[in-house]
Every structure is written in C-alpha cells, then in structure tokens.
Structure 1
Amino acid sequence: MNLVSIIIPCYNYGWLLAETLDSVLAQTYQQWECIIIDDGSTDTTRVVATSYQARDSRFRYVYQPNGGLSAARNHGLQAATGEYIQFLDADDLLLPQKLELQVALLASHPEYDVVYGAVRYFMHGEPGKLSRSFDMKDTHWQVELSGHGSDLVAAMIPSNIMVVNAPLLRVTSVVALDPLW
C-alpha cells in the first residue's frame, strides 16, 4: 500500500486541531503519516499535537519559529516520506473515505498526478449545515479539470480552482512544482 503524507500547518489553532486530527484517525485508508507543523504557536497546539503523537506513531509533531503558512507547508514537504501528499489546514476535516478513494484512483492511473473532489464548508458550531461555497449560499464554484503535465499545471496555478484540502498529489508532481512554491 502507498503511504500518504498528510501535512498540517498550525498557528494558534490548538482549539480546533483535535477535531482535525480525529478526522485523520477516522480514515478508512490506514497507510498515512501526519506531520503537524507548529508554526510558532503560543496556544495549546503543542499539547494537542503531542498528545496525538503519543497515541499513534503515525503522527509527528514538528515545531518551527513562526515563518508563515508557506514556510510551514514547505517544512512539512521536506519531512514527508509518502508517495502522495495531502495538505490539510488545522481547521479542516476529511471525510472518512477521502484518502481511500483518491489513492485508489491515483494507483490505478499512473498517468495522473493529482485528483480532487468537491468540498463542503460548514459553520463552526453547526457541522450539519453544509455548503459548496464559503459564503454558505451553496454555489458550485470549483472548476472541473483534467489533463497532465505542464498543461494541467498552467491551468491550475493562476485560477485557484480548489481549496487546499481537496487534492491528493503524487509526490513526483509536487517535486516538479517545487520552483513554483
């Protein structure tokens, strides 16, 4: 089975991090590592992250002085050992079968570098109220796209076609994008 590296940058989101990490634990696909990059938090982030690390060795807590979201994601990429990359923000949740379905698709189609699906937004405190759009008006906005290589990258980068937790990326595609990060 192919390892998925889940990279979670976190800056003062300790109050939501446990819920996010619970959604990682709930994955039906079990071959993952979860790298939590604490970007200089001053809240409970360390306590929450290290408690999950003590519970399950697939979690890894990494501290760095505050350098911003991109620096934290890049630090996570350097620490990742998986064949696939899943970015996840500290206030996001994954549906239980997300990794299973997307890994299966990438594994059966070696010509694909990325797969993504629809997302739903929820209001804090009202997780049952879902919307396809951030404004909670349920408007479809994600572009449906297929292709490969530089054509796909050229279409994805300038138009911000998805939220960060939607895609699962093949590591080789992330390495190819490295100069763009």
Structure 2
Amino acid sequence: MGASESSLLQRSDDDITTISERSESIDPVLERLRSLQIANPILESLPAERSLTDILVRKPLLSSNSIGTVDRQVLLELFSMYRDWQEKKTQNISKKQEEIENKIDVADALAIKLLQRFNYSVSAMKTSSNHLYEVHSLQVELGELKGRLTEVISNCDALCKRIAADGPDSLKSTVKPFVLASSDPSTSA
C-alpha cells in the first residue's frame, strides 16, 4: 500500500475512522513465512503412476521398490507437531473453560445473594403492609374508645353537677365538676 497503511473501521454510530500509521513491530505471521525452509520430500521415490487414472485404478505391485515410501522420520515429526498443536489447543480450551466456570460460579453467588435480598425485601414489605393494616383497625378502634371516653366523662360531669346542685351537703363540698380539655395545650384537666 505504500509508505502508510490505511484501514477503515465501521463503528456502531456509523462513523468511519481512517488509521494511517505504520506498525513498528514485525508481523509474526510474516516472520514465520520468512523462516520457512524447503524440506526434504516426504516420499522417497516417485510412484510409477503418471496420471489420475493410473492412481485411481492402480493395482498393487509386487515389488516394493516401485511404490513410493514415506520417510519415517518425517512422518514421526509431523505426528509430533500435530500432537503438540493438539495439546496446546486442549490446554487453551481447558483454561478458557475454567475461566468460564469461575465466572458462572461468581454469577451464581451474586444471583443467590440478590435472591436472598429480594426475599428479605418482600418479607419486610409484607410485614409493613400487615402492620399498616393493623394500624388502620387500631385507629378505628381508638376513635371508638375516644368517643366512649368522652361520653363517660360528660356523664360524670353531669353527675357531678347534679350532686353539686341537688345532692347532700356532705357530698357537695367534695365533688368538683370535670373540665374538658380544650384544643389549647396550656390548659389541662
């Protein structure tokens, strides 16, 4: 591409950003391509077949010299490279699996804590609702008791006034009429 490399990046907000700077580091894939060397052929001798038809309809030959053989050392090296590659892949997969399992365990623990807190909140709300419901019935009952108490006090006051007006002289001096409390907090009964 010349002196500067450019690439276009599409973002979610539909903006296009152009990056024009050359990387100072060497590309590892390019480095591996440069380090490749021409290897010895896998087959030590070429097969006798020259065309695709010869290969497809080939009959086994009696002499082992005419059949191409694979170099055992090269084959061993190929299988060893394949095994190493498989082991690395297996290790990476198991490492990622452990990380995912750890994240799942953390998510499970958080979910359990959230569920416990939610259940506690629901329980507290139910208790508060029951208490509020009981408060309403207590308010009604208290209003009834207040009405009865007012009635009893007015009856006592009327009785005291009757005793003071028409009662015997011995009781008149000891009986005083009730004074009902007003809304002013400075006066008391």
Tell me whether the two structures share a fold, i.e. TM-score over 0.5. no
TM-score normalised by the chain length of structure 2:
0.14
TM-score normalised by the chain length of structure 1:
0.14
Please identify which structure carries the higher strand content: 1
